[in-house]
Chains A and B, each alone.
Chain A
Amino acid sequence: MRFEGTKDYVATDELAAAVNAAIILERPLLVKGEPGTGKTELAKQVAEALGAPLLEWHIKSTTKARQGLYEYDAVARLRDSQLGDDKVHDVSNYIKKGKLWEAFTHEQRPVLLIDEIDKADIEFPNDLLQELDKMEFHVYETGQTIKAEVRPIVIITSNNEKELPDAFLRRCFFHFIAFPDEETMEQIVKVHYPDLKSRLLSEALQTFFDLRTVPGLKKKPSTSELLDWLKLLMAEDIDPAVLRERDPRKLIPPMHGALLKNEQDVQLFERLAFMSRREGS
């Protein structure tokens, strides 16, 4: 099992090396990076490349570690007992499997995505230490022990909203997806839009990277925003020349709404466009 990126996903050598090390050593891989650099997508692509099933566990601020293992629905049992349902005698009828349970007992080695782990409570990762380390846990209500025969490939993403505990970090491999350089970005765009005219692409990429270097931008546009923008440019069949517009009344490039998501940034963009116009003249 080796991961090299897929036809839809450009993985740098470093990323591929980290993924493969995590697969071979059967340890979780923690992925961080700017929003929109393809952290969540990575798990999907790894699953696809390896032909493995993908289990996704999306973490919210209210998610508890327990829910990943199993949940015991005591309320349903109480209700059933009042209705005289026979199910009530077997407690396992009220145990709902969590994503980790599913992953541990899957017949084929799955890829388990734990998405945005930093959204949860600060203690959340600590509560999963043993479970991710030993890949087993105990079900108190039924006395079962669930143990993974084949350790799933675990990919964890974080947006850095909270610092993760050291004990947890020590057990993971870590990769930081840096923002792609221009070369990699060109590859990424080509993967998504193979028919894009190269002139439009280079003009658009230049505008995009210029824009990212504007100091003080509230939110820098990310890869996914670039892709959306290009899609719009293509759909509207924009002439590349328009991106180099010299007419002061049309300083802002077409469809800028896909790139810039707030008013102050649009004003900054105007300034940039004004400057590049002066450069050109």
Chain B
Amino acid sequence: MTPLFHRFFTGLRAAKIPVSTREYLTLLEALEKGAIDQDLDSFYAVSRAALVKDERNFDKFDKVFAHFFEGIEALGAMFKADEIPDDWLRAEMRRHLTEEEMAALKEMDFDQLMKTLQERLQEQQKRHEGGSKWIGTGGTSPYGHSGWSPNGVRIGGESKNKKANKVWETRRFKDYDNERELGTRNLKMALRRLRRFARDGAEEELDLDDTINATANRGYLDIRMRPEKRNAIKVLVFFDVGGSMDPYIELTERLFSAASSVFKNLEYFYFHNCPYQAVWKSNKRRQSETTSLMDVLHTYPADYKVVFVGDAAMAPTEITHPGGSVEGWNEEAGGVWLRRIAETYPNLIWLNPTPENWWPHTYSVQLIREIVGPERMFPLTLSGVDRAMKELAKK
């Protein structure tokens, strides 16, 4: 097969799309068996179906595809005309030419065809002065017979009888990309990383199917037991509410709704900016019904995994000084309390809804990271939650 496809495959791998050799061979098989029509749209659809198995990677795929099959300058130089099947180019011609022109072209051989295509494209370049829509920057490269290089031409570019944009140009799958903010569904997927159904502990459950089978096989009653299946993970979540967190409430709510359906043992508490001596369970009654943080530390054993959700944006004194709290008087500084939590629970992470590149600019974020450990704060994006869950899952 042509090196072009091979480079496409390598390009996908370079873009961190997990494509295996097996899938690549499937694509080549599809080409060979004629499962792909001779146009770029069909190639796009089938290659995506064969190579990409997760819609979160569709956007990356679209970008790589555009790179390879549309001759963007940087990679365009790799193209050689003879690597692109004639039929595709003919199909491309059909889009750029009128019916009469096509009829006249029928008799032409491939070289002539290409020449006409060049001319057509040059005309279009004139009409679209300065625009890179039709012809890329490489478009001025020699147009001779063997020197004609498709990198100048945007193969699969705009056409007259179809929508202005190619499907892979519209970037429809942006929303599914990993770095995007989270939908509840995505969150659940990420949180599930942490869910481990462990069959451990004593045998305590009657395995009915196995008992019936064993009894039937032996002809006498043969009781079989199995360890109980249970969700081994216990989670304690602290949500920051109010103030600077307001814009992120919806996001936090989503995280919460996803978290509560994934974990069986989930306890949650609210705090404001930084945890102090008291946290609360109901935001409406935050003044009247609080729980002492000391009680929390004593109630939940150290094998609970702790998740903080908050933007960690506050006045530094709220962390460093007694009485710094905006909620009420605190005898001990927020940092002391936070350290206490971090020391009690070895598995702890902090999810921050603000973008990661803002963090260095907020002093309080630095302070918090120093206390909980700089590697344990993660952005509230899908890949962030994913990384966070990996960190939490560590023993």
Question: Please, which residues of chain B bring their CB within 8 A of the CB of A209?
Answer: none
Q: Would you give the shortest CB distance from B365 to chain A, in whole angstroms? A: 27
The 8 closest A-B pairs by CB, nearest first: A74-B216, A17-B45, A169-B53, A18-B49, A14-B45, A176-B55, A24-B35, A78-B216
- Given that A21-B50, A162-B192 are known contacts, is A75 also in contact with B33, CB under 8 Å in the complex? no
Q: How far is the CA of A122 from the CA of B197 in the complex (A)?
A: 10
Flag if A27 contacts B26 (CB, 8 Å). Answer: yes
CB of A160 within 8 A of CB of B189, answer yes
A38-63 interface mask toward B, CB cutoff 8 Å, 1 = contact, 0 = none?
Answer: 00000000000000000000000000
Task: Name the contact of A174 in the complex, choosing from B18, B42, B52 (C-beta under 8 A).
Answer: B52
Enumerate 6 A-B pairs (CB-CB under 8 Å) in ascending A order: A14-B48, A17-B36, A160-B189, A163-B189, A170-B23, A174-B48
Q: How far is the CA of A15 from the CA of B217 in the complex (A)?
A: 49
CA gap between A164 and B217 in the complex, in Å: 35
CB-CB under 8 A from B26, the residues of chain A are 25, 27, 173
B253 to chain A, nearest CB (A): 9
Task: Kindly provide the distance from the CB of B381 to the nearest chain A CB, expressed in whole angstroms.
Answer: 17
Question: CB distance B34 to A24 under 8 Å?
Answer: yes
Given A20-B35, A21-B35: A32 and B213 interface contact (C-beta under 8 Å): no
| Inter-subunit contact A173/B42 (CB<8 Å) | no
> In angstroms, how far is the closest chain A Cβ from the Cβ of B37?
7
Describe B's contact surface by its main secondary structure.
Answer: helix
Residue positions of B touching A, CB distance < 8 A: 18, 20, 22-23, 26, 29-30, 33-37, 41-42, 44-46, 48-50, 52-55, 58, 167, 172-173, 176, 185, 188-189, 192, 197, 212-213, 215-217, 219, 250
Interface centre among A74, A160, A174, by most B CB within 10 Å?
A174
Summed over the interface, the residue pairs from A and B with CB atoms below 8 Å come to a total of: 87
Answer whether A24 and B30 are a contact pair too, CB < 8 Å, given A13-B41, A18-B46, A74-B217.
yes
What CA separation (Å) do A18 and B26 show in the bound complex?
13
Q: Complex Cα distance A111/B49, Å? A: 19
In the complex, besides A74-B212, A166-B53, A174-B52, 10 extra interface pairs with C-beta distance below 8 angstroms are: A17-B45, A21-B46, A22-B49, A24-B33, A122-B197, A170-B23, A170-B53, A173-B26, A173-B49, A174-B53
Cβ-defined contact, B216 with A13, below 8 A: no
CA distance A75 to B30 in the complex (A): 47
Tell whether A175 is near chain B: CB-to-CB under 8 Å. yes
Q: Is the CB of B172 within 8 A of A173?
A: no
Are A17 and B189 in contact, with the CB atoms below 8 A?
Answer: no
Residues in A with CB closer than 8 Å to B49 are: 17-18, 21-22, 29, 173-175
CA distance A54 to B50 in the complex (A): 24
- CB contact under 8 A between A216 and B250, given known A24-B34, A160-B189: yes
Q: Which residue of A lies closest to B217 (CB)?
A: A74
Chain B residues with Cβ below 8 Å from A29 are 49
Closest-by-CB residue of B relative to A174 is B53
A residues less than 8 Å from B217 (CB atoms): 74
B34 — nearest CB in chain A belongs to which residue? A24
Query: How far, in angstroms, from A215 to B22 measured CA to CA in the complex?
Result: 41
